[in-house]
Structure 1
Amino acid sequence: MIEKLNELGFKSEWAYAGGFSSILLSFITYFISRARKGDDKAQSDRWGIFIGHWAPTFFALGIALKLEEKK
């Protein structure tokens, strides 16, 4: 899969950017959810954690792509 992504032109920098973006998006969704009337803290936590879990996937993908690019 990583080799195919590399062949398609997907760069490791894009995956790293996705990881940092997901961290930022996690904070944004948390605070937007907290600001809404009627949403409780647990719901805000779930949104933030759900999106925050994307970051390690993007970072791992970035590392794998970086290793593939060095071949």
Structure 2
Amino acid sequence: MRPTTALDWTAFALVIIGALAWGFFAFDINILDIVLEAIWDPLDNIVFALIALAGLYLLVRAFARS
């Protein structure tokens, strides 16, 4: 599946960010929390929720029939 719309590209970018965050977490480098800690603590829950929703959206798009 190739991103075509703005929503697809946004979801794709969020999923890539989430994948990198999990990769860094695996190596005990929690970079996303470090970055979000500088912004605002409750904002990290929103970002993690957006990443999860983006993953679900891309999962549905990948298996949906066109």
Report the TM-score, using the length of structure 1 for normalisation: 0.46
- Greater RCO structure (CA 8 Å; 6+ sep): 1
Q: Which of the pair is proportionally richer in helix?
A: 1
Larger radius of gyration: 1
Report the TM-score, using the length of structure 2 for normalisation: 0.48
